[in-house]
Amino acid sequence: MPGHLEAWVRTHGTLPAACRMILLPWFSAALVHAVRVWVQPRWLALWTRVLGMPAVTVHGATLVCVPGVLDADENVRGRLWSWTQPRGVALWAHEVKHIEQWVSDPSAFVAHAMSGITASLLRGTVYDHAVIVYEQEAIAFERTVLAYLLHRDQRKA
């Protein structure tokens, strides 16, 4: 059923149960249940794309998604944001890691964001993952999740 995850989110503002179950091995149940999700209206998603922003951003404890990204398994985004493929699950885990970072210390998260954006601007870009502390932590976590899932899938084969 195309659009079923996005439809759930638009109605409830939370991750659907199936998505929460996928993330539970990596995060506490309290955190996973606290995640809020907002799907941008199409006009705002257009600006998101024009500005070169990612398809999913994190604002506090909310995942902000462009339309269609939640249902990536059913559309052109395919494996990048897939809830069924290791790469996609690892990427969603990366984003939820940011929520975990925010929840554990909002002041530190904001401080890292400000210093990271300043450092990025000094390097000639707006947002350079290489100089943002919380991004480096989330990238390392994403790689750990991906390695585990790929190893698990190889053992099943």
E strand spans, 7-152 = 36-39, 56-59, 62-65
Q: Is the CB of residue 60 less than 8 Å from the CB of residue 102?
A: yes
pLDDT of residue 75: 63
3-state secondary structure of 56: strand
When divided into structural domains, the chain yields a total of 1
Across the chain, what does the average pLDDT equal?
Answer: 88
Q: Which residue has the higher pLDDT, 104 or 1?
A: 104
pLDDT of residue 1: 40
φ, ψ of residue 127 in degrees (nearest 5):
-145, 100
pLDDT of residue 15: 93
Domain that holds residue 35: 4-156
Mean pLDDT over 36-54 rounds to: 77
pLDDT of 91-130, one tens digit each? Answer: 999 999 999 999 999 999 999 989 988 998 898 887 788 8
| φ/ψ bin of 52: left (φ > 0), alpha (ψ from -120 to 50), beta (otherwise) | left
pLDDT of residue 147: 96
Mean pLDDT over 37-62 rounds to: 80
Mean pLDDT over 122-140 rounds to: 89
Share of the chain above pLDDT 70, in %: 90
Mean pLDDT over 19-41 rounds to: 95
